[in-house]
Amino acid sequence: MDRAVEAASDFFKLPSETKQEFASDDIRQPVRYGTSLTDGARPSRAFLKHYVHPLSEWMKYWPEKPPTYREDMGKFSAEVRRVALQLMEAILEGLGLGKHYQHDEFERGLQLLQVNCYPKEPEGESAIGLAPHSDHGFLTILLASCPGLEVLDRSTNTWRVVQQPRHVLHVHVGDLMEVLSNGRIKTVVHRAVLNPGEARISMASIHSFVMHEKVSVAKELVDEQDPEKYKESSFSDFLDYVTSNVDKKRMSFLDSLRM
Ligand SMILES: O=C(O)CCC(=O)C(=O)O
Ligand SMILES: [Fe+2]
């Protein structure tokens, strides 16, 4: 974990020209670097997003600088994937679907890594690093170098600060889990705030099915009292939605799937 955080941090310290080689507006690129402005004029976040699984297919596109990046991030990602698959089996079992439910689809599923670098919070300003959202996949496993994550408490509609002890991974449920479980497990709305004391690195590993594989409500969880609540969709449908001109502030991708 430490080596992965260090590799990420070293990447963001590279000269701007080196990082810009990965800049693209095309969200289907296998590796993408960018910065975002949330409310001020200064960027509140820099990110590097890339595909991870299978490593043999994607690692060749990853940054070669810092020289530790591929090896350290590759090891971290493979371990995180193992954790995600095990957790997924336990959740499927808990839903009464059996731990091998859609086993092959999960095994060959997509893993995306979103590496974020947030600046230190400017003095006297309170700033949002990453605006409220839910993640697309079934599960997100997140590692961060210091606090900054907040989750929305649905019962009170208030933000809760999430502690960040060293070497603790957070697990979020994403939109696809809500779909598959027919709404029994709800996606987690979260955001990142800037930390006044220090700059922050976070790495979110997102797990879903391959590009064109549809995720639908488990038929076992549908009956007369509990009709199917969501339409099926694939990761590709999600990318199409994100690049469409629908007003995404008013309707999230998950909202667009509700029946
Ligand atoms: O930086 C964080 O704590 C959250 C990151 C996140 O939500 C994401 O990358 O999707
Ligand atoms: Fe997220």
Rounded to the nearest whole angstrom, what is the distance from the C-alpha of residue 56 to the centroid of ligand 2? 26
Neighbours of ion ligand 2 (CB under 5 A): 135
Average pLDDT over residues 240-245: 90
pLDDT above 90: residue 190: yes
Does residue 145 line the site of ligand 1, with CB under 6 A? Answer: no
Does residue 113 line the site of ligand 1, with CB under 6 A? Answer: no
Does residue 194 line the site of ligand 1, with CB under 6 A? Answer: no
**What domain range includes position 148?**
2-257
Nearest CA-CA partner of 149 in 101, 201, 75, 83 = 201
pLDDT digits (tens, 9 = 90+) for 86-106: 999 999 999 999 999 999 999
Q: Which ligand 1 atom is the nearest neighbour of the CA of 47?
A: 9
d(CA 25, CA 246): 18
Q: Which range, of 111-115, 128-132, 169-173, averages the lowest pLDDT?
A: 128-132
pLDDT digits (tens, 9 = 90+) for 49-79: 999 999 999 999 999 999 999 999 999 999 9
Say whether the ipTM exceeds 0.90. yes
Q: Which of 163, 202, 238, 242 to mutate to test the pocket of ligand 1 (most atoms within 8 A of CB)?
A: 202
What SS3 state is found at 172?
Answer: strand
Average pLDDT over residues 234-244: 94
Domain total for the chain?
1
pLDDT at 211: 94
pLDDT at 61: 97
Does residue 148 line the site of ligand 1, with CB under 6 A? Answer: yes
Where residue 162 falls among pLDDT bands split at 50, 70, 90?
very high
Where residue 41 falls among pLDDT bands split at 50, 70, 90?
low
For the entire predicted model, the pTM comes to: 0.95
d(CA 68, CA 215): 35
pLDDT at 136: 96
Rounded to the nearest whole angstrom, what is the distance from the C-alpha of residue 143 to the centroid of ligand 2? 11
Q: What is the CATH number of the domain that holds 247?
A: 2.60.120.330
Does residue 190 line the site of ligand 1, with CB under 6 A? Answer: yes
pLDDT digits (tens, 9 = 90+) for 118-147: 999 877 776 889 999 999 999 999 999 999
Cβ atoms of 110 and 183 closer than 8 Å: no
* Tokens 């230190």, located at residue: 120
Is the model more confident about 226 or about 249? 226
pLDDT at 80: 98
- The β-bridge partners of 204 are 114, 142
pLDDT above 90: residue 250: no
DSSP 8-state class, residue 233: B
Rounded to the nearest whole angstrom, what is the distance from the C-alpha of residue 174 to the centroid of ligand 1? 12
DSSP 8-state class, residue 27: T
